[in-house]
Structure 1
Amino acid sequence: MPDTPIRLLIADDQALVRGALTTLLNLEPDIEVVAQASTGAEALSAVEQLNGHVDVIVMDIEMPVMDGITASAQLLKRWPHLGILMVTTFGRPGYLQRCMAAGARGFMVKDSPVDELTKNVRIVAAGGKVIDPELAIESLSVGSNPLTEREIEALRVSADGGTIADIARTLGISQGTTRNHISMAMIKTSARTRADAVRIATEQGWL
């Protein structure tokens, strides 16, 4: 066993997944799971408590309180040495683009074989990058996210339902501006309704 095993943090909101990954990865002679987190916020706290002494984070995307992409961006601002490997159920092109923009070094889907996960953890720990090739090709064919940050915010709030007035109140902007953001989002997603725009943007991984 190496003198200094890869120090790993696993962040996933499903306890069974965290436990299974911890058990499997701890079987590897060169990997040690030093912490677990169920939200992006908990991942931040865990790295803080470990004084940044983490090599790789296996990070889920869809988690409560703070999603994995937001957490990754915040973590890397303070600890740029971290190697973040995004592992998600949904292989959406927009997710890949957002993860790479946040600074993640890897992206893979959860139904990948365990030996592929361990191989990718080692690659990321060594400073390399790993991306599912099929998803990379699909991401290039789809193109970049056409939505602005404000349009994304408007659609996210729209997903919870409510009137234009409700959305405007939540965002702290006028109803007219809110309508403009949603209208532009519908045009860019070729959606016929607000709900359809939310669905399309979600399926692409833009929200």
Structure 2
Amino acid sequence: MIRVLIADQARLFRSGLAALLADEPDIVLGGEADDAGKVARVAMECAADVALVASELPGLDFFPLIEEMRVTAPECAVVVLAARSRPGDLRRAVAAGAFGFVLKDSSPVQLSDAIRRVARGERVVDPDLAYAELVTAPPPLTPRELDVLNVAAEGATVGEIAERLHLSPGTVRNYLARIVGKAGARTRVEAIAIARERGWLWHESVRRFNG
């Protein structure tokens, strides 16, 4: 029996999804969560095999949540339920450790199939989302600019960026100026926000787990 955790802020959506899954002979509802901060705890308490996590779940950005689940509830595979797909979301979710990424309006058959496949250790991605990710324009930044941007996105100062990447502070400032310009931003903070929105920082999760 596959134990499923449903994490969404809307009680009506959770109830509707639970009702649909109740018709599946090999899937059982293990628990529910309406806030990102509760997901890992509930997953451990109910020994969930699969967690269906809404991308707009309040309390914590869903990428750090996926990473937290890998540490605190490693036996529970996360499937992101996206109301919509922003550029880079799929790539960042996979990099963070998600096993699935599907749309909320997927049919009951598609969703139950995704749950079973993920429970078997397979990866499941909505084909339309995968295609949209493939045709998304790559970042206009060089690999070194992306390195600087990722470290800056962690809140590092110019000096800390320089030390970590073995650059001079002056070189880091030049990189940051170019990044701001290429992003069409006015400040470094705005450039980082744009980069997150466009998915340019997806590989920071890969570096954190593999570095």
TM band (smaller chain): 0.7 to 0.9
Structure 1 gap ranges (5+):
154-170
Q: Which residue identity is paired with 1:85?
A: V
Aligned residue number for residue 27 of structure 1 = 23
Deviation at 1:129, TM superposition (A): 0.8
The answer to whether residue 40 in structure 2 is matched with residue 44 in structure 1 is yes
Cα deviation code 1:8-34 (max 9, x no counterpart): 001112222222111211221111111
Aligned residue number for residue 65 of structure 1 = 59
Name the CA shift for 1:192/1:68 in 2 (closer, same or farther; >3 Å).
Answer: closer
What is the CA–CA distance in structure 2 between the aligned matches of 1:188 and 1:12, rounded to whole Å?
A: 36
Aligned residue number for residue 123 of structure 2 = 129
What is the CA–CA distance in structure 2 between the aligned matches of 1:27 and 1:141, rounded to whole Å?
A: 37
- Over the aligned positions, Cα root-mean-square deviation in angstroms equals 3.0
Deviation at 1:78, TM superposition (A): 3.1
Q: Which residue identity is paired with 1:89?
A: A
Are 1:40 and 1:70, in contact at CA under 8 Å, matched by a contact in 2?
A: no
Are 2:63 and 2:96, in contact at CA under 8 Å, matched by a contact in 1?
A: yes
Q: Which residue identity is paired with 1:26?
A: A
Are 2:43 and 2:76, in contact at CA under 8 Å, matched by a contact in 1?
A: no
Percent of aligned pairs with the same residue?
A: 31
Cα deviation code 1:67-125 (max 9, x no counterpart): 22211111112332322111111212311011101111110111222221111111111
Q: Secondary structure at the match of 1:93?
A: coil
What is the CA–CA distance in structure 2 between the aligned matches of 1:46 and 1:31, rounded to whole Å?
A: 17
The answer to whether residue 7 in structure 2 is matched with residue 11 in structure 1 is yes
What is the CA–CA distance in structure 2 between the aligned matches of 1:115 and 1:197, rounded to whole Å?
A: 41
* TM-score normalised by L of structure 1: 0.72
Aligned positions of 1:166-181 closer than 5 A: none
Structure 2 gap ranges (5+):
162-172, 202-211
Are 2:77 and 2:98, in contact at CA under 8 Å, matched by a contact in 1?
A: yes
What is the CA–CA distance in structure 1 between the aligned matches of 2:65 and 2:193, rounded to whole Å?
A: 24
What is the CA–CA distance in structure 2 between the aligned matches of 1:75 and 1:22, rounded to whole Å?
A: 22
Aligned positions of 1:104-119 closer than 5 A: 104-119=98-113
Are 1:92 and 1:135, in contact at CA under 8 Å, matched by a contact in 2?
A: no
Q: Count the aligned residue pairs.
A: 181
Deviation at 1:186, TM superposition (A): 3.0
What is the CA–CA distance in structure 2 between the aligned matches of 1:18 and 1:184, rounded to whole Å?
A: 45
Are 1:90 and 1:109, in contact at CA under 8 Å, matched by a contact in 2?
A: yes
Name the CA shift for 1:45/1:184 in 2 (closer, same or farther; >3 Å).
Answer: farther
Deviation at 1:55, TM superposition (A): 0.6
What is the CA–CA distance in structure 1 between the aligned matches of 2:26 and 2:63, rounded to whole Å?
A: 27
Aligned positions of 1:140-179 closer than 5 A: 140-142=134-136, 143=138, 146=146, 148-152=149-153
